[in-house]
Structure 1
Amino acid sequence: MSLRTAHTSAPVLDTLAERWSPRAFDAAHTLPENALRGVFEAARWAPSANNSQPWRFIVARRGSESFTTIEDTLAGFNRAWAGSAAALVVNLAEVTTEAGDPQPWAEYDLGQAVAHLSVQAHAEGLYVHQMGGFDREAISAAFSVDPRFRPVSVMVIGALGSADQLPEPLREREVAPRTRFDLESLFIARD
Structure 2
Amino acid sequence: MTAPTEPFQPRHAQTAVPIHPLLASRQSTRAFAPGVDLTEGQVAALLEAARWAPSAGNTQPWRFLLARRDTGEFKRVVETLNPGNRDWAGQASALLVAVRTDANDRGPLAHAAYDLGQAIAHLTFQAAAEGLTVRQMGGFDAAALAAEFDLAAPLVPTTVVAIGLPGDPADLDDAVAGPDRSPRARLAIGDLLIHP
CA–CA distance in 2 between the matches of 1:179 and 1:9? 12
1:85 to 87, 92, 101: 92
**What secondary structure does 2:174 align onto?**
coil
Report the aligned-residue RMSD. 1.3
Q: Does the 8 Å CA contact 2:10/2:25 hold for their aligned counterparts?
A: no
1:133 to 135, 139, 143: 139
Whether 1:32 and 2:42 are equivalent positions in the alignment is: no
1:60 to 67, 73, 81: 67
Amino acid at match of 1:21: S
Q: Does the 8 Å CA contact 2:103/2:154 hold for their aligned counterparts?
A: yes
Q: Which blocks of at least 5 consecutive residues in structure 1 are unaligned? A: none
Q: Does the 8 Å CA contact 1:87/1:157 hold for their aligned counterparts?
A: yes
CA–CA distance in 2 between the matches of 1:187 and 1:55? 29
**What secondary structure does 1:129 align onto?**
strand
Deviations 1:76-112 (CA, angstroms, capped at 9, x unpaired): 111110000000000011101135x111100000000
Offset at 1:155? 0.5
Q: TM-score, normalised by structure 2?
A: 0.91
CA–CA distance in 1 between the matches of 2:10 and 2:168? 14
**What secondary structure does 1:22 align onto?**
coil
Offset at 1:139? 1.1
**What secondary structure does 2:40 align onto?**
coil
Offset at 1:10? 2.1
2:6 maps to which residue?
none
Whether 1:146 and 2:159 are equivalent positions in the alignment is: no
Q: Does the 8 Å CA contact 2:102/2:154 hold for their aligned counterparts?
A: yes
User: Which segment drifts farther, 32-41 or 173-182?
Assistant: 32-41
1:102 to 105, 108, 118: 108
Offset at 1:3? 5.8
Whether 1:18 and 2:18 are equivalent positions in the alignment is: no
Offset at 1:179? 0.5
1:41 maps to which residue?
48
1:112 maps to which residue?
118
1:163 to 159, 169, 178: 169
- Runs (4 or more) in structure 1 with deviation over 6 Å come to none
Q: Quick one: percent identity of the two aligned structures?
A: 43
1:164-183 mapped onto 2 (5 Å cutoff): 164-183=170-189
2:4 maps to which residue?
none
CA–CA distance in 2 between the matches of 1:4 and 1:165? 16
Offset at 1:28? 1.6
CA–CA distance in 1 between the matches of 2:10 and 2:127? 19
How many residues were matched structurally?
A: 188
